[in-house]
Chains A and B, each alone.
Chain A
């Protein structure tokens, strides 16, 4: 009798555990769009070589529901909350998508981790870390509170990243970027740099470029923070740098001059090589450093 009760209890418990787990899949366009939204938890999205979207969700309670639907080339995965529900739990999603899918993801308090998804990506989070990879399609990332990590494959995709409170760590991304932080440091490593528009209110920037293109365009502004650039040893570019309260350190040779005899301010304009490229840097409070080693 005791054995029967134990087995029954185990079956019931097993059923209860499985009730919060959802496992679904559907055929998908190899270059379709996948839209994911989740409030809290963790979302992992991985590209694979099947024309199929698969999702495994670990719902935190019975009141949540996973909506999984396809319409044409679009697959939507949504964690749906009951109306008026005071949300305190979290839902983890593990999703596989065709490798060349484009991805749109919106989360509130959830970490986003994306691997090997090679289509265009639009990622937005209120709070949480965003980690993704940049290939040949563009990526836009907006994060209010949390770090952003992007590892590139030196592809052609452009990265547009905005962070209100949190840093940007970008490695081997493409040659074109548009970066913006209010509070947060930026660390950027690129094999080749072509176009960069960078703005920070309170944060430091460190950008290293192994190579630059002939049509180099860099436009950087910082209010409070140091802006440091490492360029290749030789390049063709015209530099126009100015700071209001801060030094300008230049490894290329020419020295900055004071913009006013009696007030603060430093400026440096010079040309390297043919001067085909343009590097424009402006800072209010902070050091600007440009170096070629």
Chain B
């Protein structure tokens, strides 16, 4: 993946290419995802080009899909009851089982390279916009983003202790969506520098 990035491929293409093909959500996620997509953005910044705007909408949509799919996949896998132990017939080869960690975390490191690359692009735009905000507003945005991430960490840590808790699963997914929504919203904010100026 890193080689591809160095070769100049579009990070969004990388993100799309890295999506797993075998993730089957437990339930129909599209209505919720569509609702999230429909909410972004409400006002285009004065100087954002249509291409940029479309790119970030696509990026946000892809991120939401990736997050939702991965979280659902991992949570579903974790919540599935373990099969009852049976005697393995000697004629069958012994299955190679990857040991599952005793504790489980849903940090972004579990969400794959595609997610991380696309997220990095959104982060880059977010920080560009953030730097252009007045100091007081920048501090508020940073604090709120930190609050969301802290909440995600807290839920993730609690999930490690209660991996099959559906309430925590829903709230974690919702918190990840809130984080992405905040990044996308700030990325499209108008700033003093982005408002119209005389040429």
Contact = CB atoms under 8 A, between A and B. Distances in A.
B196 A81 contact: yes
A123 B41 CA distance: 12
Interface string A83-115: 111010000000000000000101111000000
A162 interface: yes
Interface in B104-157: 133-134, 136-137, 140-141, 143-144, 147-148, 151, 154-155
Contacts of A265: 165, 167
Given A124-B190, A126-B137, A83 B170 contact: no
A40 B190 CA distance: 12
B136 A183 contact: no
Given A126-B190, A182-B178, A142 B43 contact: yes
A244 B141 contact: no
Given A37-B46, A81-B197, A127 B171 contact: no
Contacts of A180: 178, 181
A122 interface: yes
Nearest to B189: A126
A56 interface: no
A284 B195 contact: no
B42 A122 contact: yes
Given A82-B197, A124-B43, A182 B137 contact: no
B137 A201 contact: no
B64 to A, nearest CB: 14
B178 A201 contact: yes
Nearest to B129: A126
B170 A108 contact: no
Interface in B164-199: 165, 167-168, 170-171, 174-175, 178, 181-182, 185-186, 189-192, 195-199
A282 B189 CA distance: 30
Interface residues of B, number: 43
B182 A182 contact: yes
A106 B185 contact: no
Contact of B140 (A108, A145, A202, A260): A145
A144 B137 contact: yes
A127 B137 CA distance: 7
A162 B144 CA distance: 13
B178 A165 contact: no
A87 B198 CA distance: 13
A221 interface: yes
A21 interface: no
A106 B190 contact: yes
Nearest to B152: A223
A109 B138 CA distance: 12
B39 A160 contact: yes
A84 to B, nearest CB: 8
A224 interface: yes
A273 interface: no
A242 interface: yes
Which residue among A79, A162, A224, A284 has the maximum number of chain B CB atoms within 10 Å of its CB? Answer: A284
B190 A244 contact: no
A223 B149 CA distance: 12
A182 B147 CA distance: 8
A192 B67 CA distance: 35
A37 B190 contact: yes
B133 A140 contact: no
A85 B197 CA distance: 8
Contacts of A221: 170-171, 174
A108 B191 contact: yes
A259 B162 CA distance: 12
Contacts of A137: none
A80 B196 CA distance: 5
Contacts of A272: none
Interface in A120-154: 122-124, 126-127, 140, 142, 144-145
A183 B147 contact: yes
Interface in A173-207: 178, 180, 182-183, 197, 199, 201-202
8 contacts: A80-B197, A81-B195, A83-B197, A164-B141, A223-B151, A244-B165, A259-B165, A284-B171
The 9 closest A-B pairs by CB, nearest first: A165-B140, A182-B144, A124-B43, A140-B42, A223-B151, A83-B197, A242-B167, A127-B137, A145-B137
